Amino acid sequence: MRVVCVIPARGGSKGIPRKNLALVGGRPLVARAVKSALAAPHVDVVAVSTDDDEIALIARAAGAQVIRRPDDLSGDTASSESALLHALDQLDGEPEVTVMVQCTSPFIDPADLDAAVRRVLDGEADSVFSGLETHEFQWRSIGARGVTGVGHDPAHRPRRQDRAPHYRETGAFYVMRTAGLREHRHRFFGRIDVQPVPTAHAVEVDEPADLELVRAIAQIADEPEPLDVDAVVTDFDGVHTDDRAYVDQDGRETVAVSRGDGMGVARLREAGVPMLILSTEINPVVAARARKLGVPVLHGQADKATALRKWLADEGLDPARVAYVGNDVNDLGCLALVGWPIAVPDAHPGVLAAARVTLTRPGGAGAVRELCERVLAARGIQDSEDGTI
């Protein structure tokens, strides 16, 4: 055990209540932190230090050890270093390097974290922190005299390429030689260096507005992942369609669907993956489309969550291994029931916030096909002609 990563994650937070459990890309912030740390090759052990039962449960499920933090180290005034030192005292053996990862940075690249760890292991530095390179001109207030330049002469304005960069501490991760942390009881000591990280990874969640920002970024920053599920359930309007209806002079409604979605569903059926269309819509077009696709349908369902719960029980399915795709607020109950809540990209903001995965293709324009492709990819099923799904 050369390298231990400790993730401080107390239950209290003033700016955003229960912040470490806030969902970004459908996953709690603490689970995202654990995943990033576990993916860094040189990190041997990941431990979450918490005083909260729910955080502890999620951390274990994500693959971390849990260290219960005492009340006197869990208040607003307790330092992160106190949590680190307490965690080290609970572990078996003393690591050479201690890493602190913070849940409030949801886009930590394991490669950047691992590079910082290697620099301490190789003796290049005693303490390394994540930093964003910046060439900004910064100023600070000097009261009644106005402001003054920080790190630059206001009378001299060199070009960006002629200025040495500054680094803004992102708060994402800190890597320390354990002996130095023990001696100084602080994360900065000895030779201090910075591990540069890209702008997209430098966002830190402190205020509610930050949370909305990172949720939006997650839709494009998170790498698409195969969907390892046992069954797929979808809403109809806004998922199989673009959420529009065409009404003729006699009041008859029609919708537009994607033929590509039909091919995806056919291949999913061939692979033996159960599928269900679940909708509140009473228009017979829903049942007609389901018959065309060859999948069961429950439509005209006022309480979709109750209908889904019964279907899961009848089919003997583990909800944790089921995907549900929705687009509007009446899908939130179903999204909360399954392990893989999924949204289309133009979904209601509340659905996007609840989703673990956001598809890249809109409803009616290939969303169902993309979903099917990703489920098939998790099963290693590829097209026989070109090697792609």
Look at the chain and report how many structural domains it folds into: 2
Residue 387 lies in a domain: no
Same domain, 27 and 138: yes
Same domain, 111 and 138: yes
Same domain, 240 and 203: no
Give the mean pLDDT of 159-181. Answer: 90
pLDDT in tens, 197-240: 999 899 999 899 999 899 888 877 887 778 899 999 999 999 99
pLDDT above 80 for 180: yes
Share of the chain above pLDDT 70, in %: 98
The whole-angstrom separation of Cα 125 and Cα 144 is 41
pLDDT in tens, 245-269: 888 888 888 888 998 999 999 999 9
The whole-number pLDDT of residue 291 equals: 94
The whole-number pLDDT of residue 383 equals: 52
Residue 388 lies in a domain: no
Q: Where are the beta strands (DSSP E) in the chain?
A: 3-8, 23-24, 27-28, 45-50, 65-68, 97-101, 127-134, 138-141, 147-150, 166-177, 192-196, 231-234, 246-247, 253-254, 275-278, 297-298, 322-326, 340-343, 357-358
Q: What is the pTM of this model?
A: 0.70
CA angle centred on 237, ends 235 and 242, rounded to 5° = 125
Question: What CATH number corresponds to the domain at position 251?
Answer: 3.40.50.1000
The whole-number pLDDT of residue 100 equals: 98
The whole-angstrom separation of Cα 33 and Cα 35 is 5
**Choice among 32-36, 279-283, 327-331 with the minimum mean pLDDT:** 279-283
* Residue 52 domain boundaries: 3-220
Residue 261 lies in a domain: yes
Domain boundary among 194, 220, 246: 220
The whole-number pLDDT of residue 2 equals: 94
Q: In sequence order, what DSSP letters do the residues of 273-323 get, joined into one string?
A: --EEEE-S--STHHHHHHHHHT--EE-S-S-HHHHHHHHHHHHT--GGGEE
Same domain, 171 and 60: yes
The whole-angstrom separation of Cα 212 and Cα 249 is 43
The whole-number pLDDT of residue 119 equals: 97
Same domain, 325 and 370: yes
pLDDT above 80 for 160: no
pLDDT in tens, 81-108: 999 999 999 998 999 999 999 999 999 9
Same domain, 75 and 157: yes
pLDDT band at 356 (very low <50, low <70, confident <90, very high): confident
> Are 73 and 83 within 8 A, CB to CB?
yes
Domain boundary among 185, 220, 255: 220
* One-letter identity of residue 64: A
The contacts found for 80-84 with CB under 8 angstroms, 24 or more apart, are: 80/8, 80/187, 81/181, 81/185, 81/186, 81/187, 83/6, 83/8, 83/10, 83/49, 84/6, 84/8, 84/49, 84/181, 84/187
Question: What CATH number corresponds to the domain at position 168?
Answer: 3.90.550.10
Residue 172 lies in a domain: yes
Same domain, 200 and 238: no
pLDDT in tens, 358-389: 888 899 999 999 999 999 999 988 654 443 33
Same domain, 200 and 53: yes
The whole-angstrom separation of Cα 86 and Cα 118 is 24
Residue 291 lies in a domain: yes
pLDDT band at 27 (very low <50, low <70, confident <90, very high): confident
Residue 327 lies in a domain: yes
pLDDT in tens, 107-124: 999 999 999 999 999 999
Same domain, 179 and 39: yes
pLDDT band at 191 (very low <50, low <70, confident <90, very high): very high
> Are 35 and 78 within 8 A, CB to CB?
no
The whole-number pLDDT of residue 382 equals: 65
